[in-house]
Amino acid sequence: MIGLWEIISPWLEGLRQRPWLLLFLFAAPYLLLTWRRKIYPSGLQILLLLGPCLATGLILARPELFPFLVAIDLAAAAAALVDLFTLPSPAAIEVERQLLRVASLQQNHRITLTVINTSRRVLRVTVRDDCPASFAYEPKQFELNLQPRSRSTVHYEACPSERGAFELERVYFRCRSWLGLWHQLVKKPALSIVHVYPDMKQLAEYAILARTNRLSQIGVRRTRKIGQDNEFERLRDYALDDNYKHIDWRTTARRRKLTVRDFQTSQSQRIIFLLDCGRMMTNESAGISLLDHSLNALLMMSYVALRQGDSVGLVSFSDKVHNFVPPRSGMSQMNRLLHASFDRFPQLVESRYDEAFLYLSAHCRKRSLVVLLTNVIDEVNSHQVQQYLGSAMGRHLPMGVLMRDHRLFDAADKEDPQGADFYRAAAAAEILTWRHQVLADLEHQGVLMIDTFAEDMTAKLVNRYLEVKARHLL
């Protein structure tokens, strides 16, 4: 024992004279574990090491206690080393994620995690999923005690605030050692893809209210149809089983032979949406962008039109045409519209109306109801909207949907403004007067116009479509 002490004492004396070397020797294992294995000391281990650190102050008063301090340090290091080997192997943990591939905007989406312990001992782990930043979810993490060779299932509700395709690539685990002196971070790959679509709940509500004759609750008015449901096709000779009410007496007198009118079922009419995805659609209303409001209204009107037997198509554009959905009938067209629009976001670029209408004229030659969903905030954009919507009047029936800004109208409607508010109200009133003139000029050219706040757009758009159908404007 004396010989061993004679060998160790020069090393201890060297460490006493070079404290930085002792600090390096103490920190090196921690740095190596952190870098190679993602293992970190816990708060409990820091408290455990705080005792020897405080005891070093005794060396100043009692230098002979240095061997005793070294013994305390070795005991703490031995406890940490023994506890280190109780950490589980990353291979002992497996995870599976279950979720639906399709989610709706601002609607809770259930995600389930199944954690499997393949080892022969109890594991204490904290689980956190790789949820996208645009998802609000609770709870953030789960504390689990996994029994040997068992599995545990947890779930949480995630509420997406943005549309698009999102990837959940992995699940994160924080494993605790037996004494709780160490934490190890483990990343397990678990790739899942979820597509966030615009809110489809409104379509289900419309279907329910339509069946129960309560569409007025969502602002859809009942429109009286003008004329018959069938359209005139041709004149032909009277047959014995024909309805005498369909006899055309004027033609009969001219031909001196009974002649009746033949009717055919109204042909499917075509609706083409021009969706502006430029900078003017980046503003927000009620927490979501104007483009999201436009998509909600577009999908609702498409659903109504497809139920009426019409064909619906879509052209989305900003500084170029992004995609085109040819007009088709049938409820399967809803899926095509959804896939074409769910990952479309407003861009900070100038919208090219000329490109959109040129593309429309090249790909849609039949007469259609052309609905432009956009926003007008300056004279340059308003001039283009007037020019191209007005030029479409001959071949198509154009409709423009412009969205109002709450801040602009609130500033103009403020009662008894004083100081800076007075000038702000005057500027807002001037802009609104200009905006009203733009709408009047478009309506004078024969363009159907809707000027509304974004959150009220859906009901007004559906009502105007039903009015067009009732008046046979197409």
- For 409-424, write each residue's pLDDT tens digit: 888 888 877 888 888 8
Q: How far apart are CA 322 and CA 334, in angstroms?
A: 18
- Do 259 and 271 share a domain, yes or no? no
Q: How far apart are CA 9 and CA 67, in angstroms?
A: 9
Which amino acid is residue 190, in one-letter code? A
Average pLDDT over residues 314-325: 93
Provide the residue range defining the domain that includes 44: 24-85
Residue 57 lies inside a defined structural domain of this protein: yes
- Do 155 and 246 share a domain, yes or no? no
Residue 456 lies inside a defined structural domain of this protein: yes
Residue 1 lies inside a defined structural domain of this protein: no
Is residue 461 within 8 Å of 297, Cβ to Cβ?
yes
Is residue 98 within 8 Å of 114, Cβ to Cβ?
yes
Residue 12 lies inside a defined structural domain of this protein: no
pLDDT at 15: 56
Q: Which region among 34-43, 137-146, 227-236, 390-399 has the lowest average model confidence (pLDDT)?
A: 227-236
Average pLDDT over residues 5-25: 58
- Do 294 and 440 share a domain, yes or no? yes
Residue 391 lies inside a defined structural domain of this protein: yes
- Do 256 and 174 share a domain, yes or no? no
Quick check: helix, strand or coil at residue 430?
A: helix
Q: From 64, 85, 106, give the residue that closes a domain.
A: 85
Other C-beta atoms lying within 10 Å of the C-beta of residue 230: 12
Residue 15 lies inside a defined structural domain of this protein: no
pLDDT at 12: 58
- Do 332 and 249 share a domain, yes or no? no
Q: How far apart are CA 292 and CA 457, in angstroms?
A: 11
Phi, psi of 233, deg, nearest 5: -115, -50
- Do 358 and 402 share a domain, yes or no? yes
- In sequence order, the 6+-apart residues with CB closer than 8 A to the CB of 105 are 160, 161, 162, 163, 196, 197, 198, 199, 288, 292
- Do 188 and 252 share a domain, yes or no? no
What's the domain count of the chain?
A: 4
Instruction: Please state the pTM of the whole predicted model.
Output: 0.68
- Answer yes or no: is pLDDT of 101 > 70: yes
Q: How far apart are CA 50 and CA 57, in angstroms?
A: 12
